[in-house]
Amino acid sequence: MTNWPWRLERRAEPSMAMKFASPLIAAAAMLATGFVLFSALGLSPLAAFRTFFIEPVASTYGFGELLLKSTPLMLCALGLSIGFRANVWNIGAEGQLIVGALAGGSIALFVDGLGGFAIPLMLLAGVAGGMAWAAIAAFLRTRFHTSEILVTLMLVYIAQLLLSYFVHGPWRDPAGFNFPQSQSFDENELLPLLAETVRVNIAFLIALALAGVAWFFVSRTFAGYRMRVAGLAPAAAAYAGYGEKRNIWLALMIGGGMAGLAGVSEVAGPIGLLSPDISPGYGFAAIIVAFVGRLHPIGVVLASLLMSLLYLGGEAAQIDLQLPASVTGLFQGVLLFYLLAADLLITYRIRRAHPGVAAAAIKVDNPVNVQT
Amino acid sequence: MNIDTLILIFASTVAAATPLILAALGVLVNERAGVLNLGVEGMMLVGAVTGFGVGVTSGSLFLGYVAAMSAGAAMALLFGLLTLTLQTNQVATGLALALFGVGLSAFVGQPFVGLPIERVPAVPIPLLSDIPVLGPALFRYDLLVYLSIALYAAVSWFLYRSSAGLRLRAIGEAPGVAHSLGYPVVRIRYLAVMFGGATSGLAGAYLSTALTPMWVEGMSAGRGWIVLALVVFATWRPLRVLLGAYLFGGVTVLQLHAQGLGVDVPSEFLSMLPYLATIVVLVLICRNPKTILLNQPASLGRSFHPDG
């Protein structure tokens, strides 16, 4: 490494400016990569850019779609970010989302005569479903020390199969021409829209409100403080008696509950029924949203809008540019990589290295007091 | 249930276990050097699409396999660059690699969906394969199955009987000490990570050219994550990795043979078995913290700073 023209020098303190700048740098790098990708595919980069990033949101309906798609991302990522701060890696938000949808959907399908109580009950059921699914991982982690990464992930596949079983079998709409989907939900079982001409519903407002609650919880409550300490300095947290088990349970319950809420608001919203593909990977995209949003509620809100734009752009690119739907997933993965690389600049700065100085430079960070 | 059905079940178990063995041995070497690469699912899928794509366009499965290993190693190199040189968090970077691999493979594989490919041919070992019962059960597989066994032997020998393997294990336990002894910690970790990537890529290519000869988005169906659990379940020992892979292979093929065995459970629940089994084995291994403490490479997942 010492014969490279530049080197990494550890900063005395992590840079606050870079903490805000690195998601922007990552987003810019992603856009640049998109530019290169579109050119390589033989498309006019500027035209492709417009199709992908500008046109989807250029109308009222499009803007509504932006907010609509950001809702499940925001909800999941808010829950995940609280957990990640406590070093609890809940990777199974996708599964918790599905179980929340199943729980809320089951109320819509099998409980009649609820009138105006249908929606609140469904939302509560969704939260409970997601929490219950995450509780499995919390129990196994606290009681048996199993990695929550692998358990929550396995539960995703199990949840997907569970959903498939229900919509192909017992819950399939008998009048639905054998399509694997449930009956459509009734009028009172669908979330009210925010305006006549758009599809975005009150779940978006709920998500924004929860962002505020999340901010309050993390920065102003003792429980949130305990979780942050547990993530930043586990040994210190242990000495201070901040129960590790309680933190793990809290982190997974919050993450699971929010994901469950996201799930039920999708099926009680734009989808309106249960089907095998209620989520194009929102639970996984939410992980990226949480990171790009710096695990902070405001950042998460902004990052979920960006990610939502990527989803919309991918759909537009499919129709107008004949690109495969997976271009969205590609951009998402690239974005996360760039973010991790850009985060480097928070702890290190880049300096030009002169050959002779390189060796001495290592000592700059650790000045040695020589007593003579 | 007659002997032929048993042989069939055994053979399909071996086939299902082979990609798990290939990838898990690579992950084992990788983790023994102290690097936690969670991106196996992504590398497997990229290997699957590369092996399939190159195999179909060039007509040579061998080229496909070489390409798949190179693709896996390239992705692992990217991971190494971020975690070993730029010191990013290994867990987050591994997750990023997995997500990126899923997206990249789906994107690149679009033109290959629905294309046919010739299944990799079985290579019956002369003479031995004609033995009744044992012949079809043990000696009529394709080359990659035999390779997986050979790889197990090679990795076993490397880790426990070679000085290079000893250095690698030392780096995984105490990289600071190894560094002060003059071992090139970062360089060996790079090599270990790339080996893990190459085997994961090869395992993925086996999925798309031998197990189910086709390309479908996300066709590994979580096998990459199961491989990671498998290495933990095997307490980082090669023989246990081999046995565990056969156990998982058996569980995976159960759903295919269930009807023949007279089991009347909805297919979705049978498909859940590998994932449930993964959770169960993890609980069994992890419930006593001493097991992990005694067997896990001490520096697994922690960044190494050569300058202190």
pLDDT higher than threshold 50 for residue A210: yes
Subunit contact A145:B278, Cβ cutoff 8 A: no
Residue B294 CB neighbour total at 10 angstroms: 9
Residue of B97, B268, B273, B292 to mutate, testing the A interface (most A Cβ within 10 Å of its Cβ): B268
- The secondary structure of B232-257 as a DSSP string is HHTTT-HHHHHHHHHHHHHHHHHHHH
Subunit contact B103:A284, Cβ cutoff 8 A: no
Query: Angle at Cα B23 formed by Cα B19 and Cα B24, nearest 5°?
Result: 110
pLDDT higher than threshold 60 for residue A367: no
Subunit contact A287:B100, Cβ cutoff 8 A: no
Residue of B90, B232, B275, B307 to mutate, testing the A interface (most A Cβ within 10 Å of its Cβ): B275
pLDDT higher than threshold 80 for residue A279: yes
pLDDT higher than threshold 80 for residue A286: yes
**pLDDT score of A54:** 86
With contacts defined as CB-CB under 8 Å, which chain A residues touch B215? none
Question: Token pair for residue B155?
Answer: 């990795």
Which has the closest alpha carbon to A104: A182, A208, A169, A156? A182
Could you tell me which residue, A116 or A292, shows the higher pLDDT? A292
**pLDDT score of A354:** 64
Confidence category of residue B81, pLDDT binned at 50, 70, 90:
very high
Question: Token pair for residue B254?
Answer: 């159960």
- One-letter amino acid at A242 equals Y
Query: Angle at Cα A360 formed by Cα A355 and Cα A361, nearest 5°?
Result: 85
Q: How far apart are the first and last CA of chain A?
A: 33
Q: How far apart are the first and last CA of chain B?
A: 63
Query: Angle at Cα B34 formed by Cα B30 and Cα B36, nearest 5°?
Result: 65
Quote ipTM for the complex: 0.90
Subunit contact A333:B96, Cβ cutoff 8 A: yes
Residue A350 CB neighbour total at 10 angstroms: 11
Query: Quick check: A151 contacting B, CB < 8 Å?
Result: yes
CA of A339, closest CA in chain B: separation in Å? 10
How far apart are alpha carbons B46 and B67 in whole angstroms? 10
Confidence category of residue A355, pLDDT binned at 50, 70, 90:
low
Subunit contact B286:A144, Cβ cutoff 8 A: yes
A314-352 pLDDT, tens digit per residue, is 888 888 888 888 888 888 889 998 998 888 888 788 777
* Per-window interface: A 55-94 vs B, CB < 8 A: 89, 91
How far apart are alpha carbons B116 and B56 in whole angstroms? 8
CA of B72, closest CA in chain A: separation in Å? 16
Which has the closest alpha carbon to A267: A255, A256, A282, A250? A282
**pLDDT score of B8:** 86
Query: Quick check: A124 contacting B, CB < 8 Å?
Result: no
Instruction: Using CA coordinates, name the residue in chain A closest to B220.
Output: A157
**pLDDT score of A363:** 45
pLDDT higher than threshold 80 for residue B157: yes
Range of A198-202, A340-344, B200-204 with top mean pLDDT: B200-204
Across the range A210-239, mean pLDDT stands at: 89
